[in-house]
Amino acid sequence: GAVVSQHPSWVICKSGTSVKIECRSLDFQATTMFWYRQFPKQSLMLMATSNEGSKATYEQGVEKDKFLINHASLTLSTLTVTSAHPEDSSFYICSAAGVSGQAGVYGYTFGSGTRLTVV
């Protein structure tokens, strides 16, 4: 089945530094990638949608200058949290959408998430 690799799985950084999270679709081409944020005991909240080679579309209330998204290829998207602060601590999850498998079914595959802790 479709696999999405997300790295790192966890990261601790100092306040004011930047952190980059990578999301790779390993066996299919992702036409669209999504980035979500999840607070403890809560559901997923969509932050932004990105298509390869174009600027990401951010959801209302998400600072595009703080959460930089790059989708340079059909298999790789990155989320950079710039000048991170403790309130940015959260669980970040990517999702890749595309056609995969022998049956050629369109679907969504999620990465395993990145736990970011800003101290």
Partner 1 sequence: TQLLEQSPQFLSIQEGENLTVYCNSSSVFSSLQWYRQEPGEGPVLLVTVVTGGEVKKLKRLTFQFGDARKDSSLHITAAQPGDTGLYLCAGGDFGNEKLTFGTGTRLTIIP
**CA nearest neighbour of 84 among 99, 98, 60, 66:** 66
**Smallest distance, Å, CB 118 to partner 1?**
18
| 62 is a site residue for partner 1 (CB under 8 A) | no
**Cβ-defined contacts of 53-59 (< 8 Å, 24+):** none
Q: Contact at 8 Å (CB) between 4 and 61? A: no
Query: Residue 34, interface with partner 1 (CB under 8 A)?
Result: yes
Minimum gap (Å) between residue 111 Cβ and partner 1: 5
Q: Please give the residues from 36 up to 55 whose contact with partner 1 meets the rule CB under 8 A.
A: 36, 41-46, 49
Count the neighbouring beta carbons within 10 Å of the beta carbon of residue 81: 23
Q: Which stretch binds partner 1 (CB under 8 A): 11-19, 67-75, 78-86, 110-118?
A: 110-118
